[in-house]
């Protein structure tokens, strides 16, 4: 879980250094744009400054010691880190949602996936629908999950 690392870039660089050719790196972390802190299991304001977060946690009768070792990480930040390292990546949350949308409408698909699927069938707005769905997923998902790898040189 990359949110427990202070210098995320150096950790990813080290992971790349020891990565076998053709290998992949799995990067996961909570999304701190949500109104929930998964380590403490409490409602939480997104990206709340640590001194206020510490005070808030004490009011909720939680020990804020873990807060000191957390680096607030978002889906967008992980994407930026991976791009900075020139890595190709797949957002597994986005991929899963889009797979639901591209499949046939079924009872197993969520209402949101079915709505995206229906709107994507409209020729004028289909591209915009997928861009909006992707942005929604990046903000709404409870966590970020990426599979990153170096571009293969052929």
pLDDT, position 14:
93
pTM over 0.85? The answer is no
Closest of 114, 83, 87, 82 to residue 101, by C-alpha: 114
Which residues fall within 8 angstroms of residue 60, CB to CB, at 6 or more apart? 40, 42
> Under 8 Å CB-to-CB from 12, ≥6 apart: which residues?
2, 25, 27, 81, 82, 85, 148
Domain ranges of the chain: 2-31+73-150
List CB contacts of 4: < 8 A, sequence separation 6 or more. Answer: 69, 70, 71
CA atoms within 13 A on the CB side of 31: 18
Q: How many CB atoms lie within 10 A of CB 22?
A: 8
The predicted-structure confidence for 64-73, as pLDDT tens digits, reads as follows 999 989 999 8
Read off the pLDDT of residues 84-142 as tens digits, 9 standing for 90 and up: 998 888 888 777 766 666 665 455 567 776 777 777 677 777 777 777 776 676 666 66
Query: Between 18 and 137, where is the model more confident?
Result: 18
Average pLDDT over residues 51-69: 94
């Amino acid at each position: 879980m990359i949110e427990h690392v202070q210098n995320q870039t150096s950790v990813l660089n080290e992971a790349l250094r020891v990565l076998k050719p053709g290998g992949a790196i799995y990067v996961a972390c909570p999304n701190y744009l949500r109104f929930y802190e998964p380590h403490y299991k409490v409602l939480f304001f997104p990206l709340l400054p640590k001194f206020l977060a510490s005070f808030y946690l004490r009011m909720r009768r939680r020990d804020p010691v873990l807060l000191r070792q957390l680096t607030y990480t978002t889906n967008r930040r992980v994407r930026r880190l991976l791009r900075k390292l020139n890595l190709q990546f797949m957002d597994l949350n986005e991929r899963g949602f889009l797979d639901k949308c591209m499949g046939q409408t079924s009872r197993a698909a969520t209402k949101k996936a079915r709505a995206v699927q229906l709107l994507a069938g409209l020729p004028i707005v289909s591209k915009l629908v997928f861009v909006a769905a992707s942005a929604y997923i990046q903000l709404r998902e409870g966590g970020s999950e990426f599979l990153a790898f170096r571009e293969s040189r052929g």
